[in-house]
């Protein structure tokens, strides 16, 4: 935990919260072997970013972009499904049912496509 250590965001937050809860900054810095200016720098970053925790309606640019891509792909899939149904209908047309035909009477009530 000495000089040159790469502190994780979680570590920094835990250290800063100790000071915010009232523990003396000098004690915290001695324990973690950091300079007080480093602690205050982390505290400033921590406090500046707190509002983001409560901003749930805001999406990142990447999330918004991914949502648009999903909608675009869904639209393309829908269009392709319609085209596929049309193509299959041309290759395998449904038979015409006649009320007068004894074999078709059971099917005559089905609506035509």
pLDDT per residue of the chain (113 residues) written in tens, 0 to 9: 445 689 999 999 999 999 999 999 999 999 999 999 999 999 999 999 988 877 766 667 788 889 999 999 999 999 999 999 888 888 877 666 555 666 655 555 555 55
Q: What are phi and psi of 100, to 5 degrees?
A: -80, -20
Buried b (16+ CB within 10 A) or exposed e, 8-30: eeeebeebbebbeeeeeeeebbe
Question: Cβ of 74: how many Cβ atoms within 10 Å?
Answer: 10
What pTM did the predictor assign? 0.48
Q: What span, in angstroms and rounded, lies between the C-alpha atoms of 4 and 10?
A: 17
**Residue whose structure tokens are 């085209």:** 83
């Amino acid at each position: 935990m000495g000089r040159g250590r790469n502190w994780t965001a979680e570590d920094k937050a835990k250290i800063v919260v100790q000071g915010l809860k009232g523990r003396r900054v000098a004690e915290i810095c001695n324990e973690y072997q950091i300079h007080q200016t480093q602690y205050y720098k982390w505290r400033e970053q921590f406090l500046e970013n707190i509002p983001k925790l409560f901003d749930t309606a805001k999406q990142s640019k990447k999330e918004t972009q991914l949502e648009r891509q999903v909608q675009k792909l869904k639209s393309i899939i829908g269009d392709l499904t319609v085209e596929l149904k049309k193509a299959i209908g041309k290759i395998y047309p449904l038979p015409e049912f006649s009320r007068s035909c004894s074999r078709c009477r059971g099917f005559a009530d089905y609506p035509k496509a």
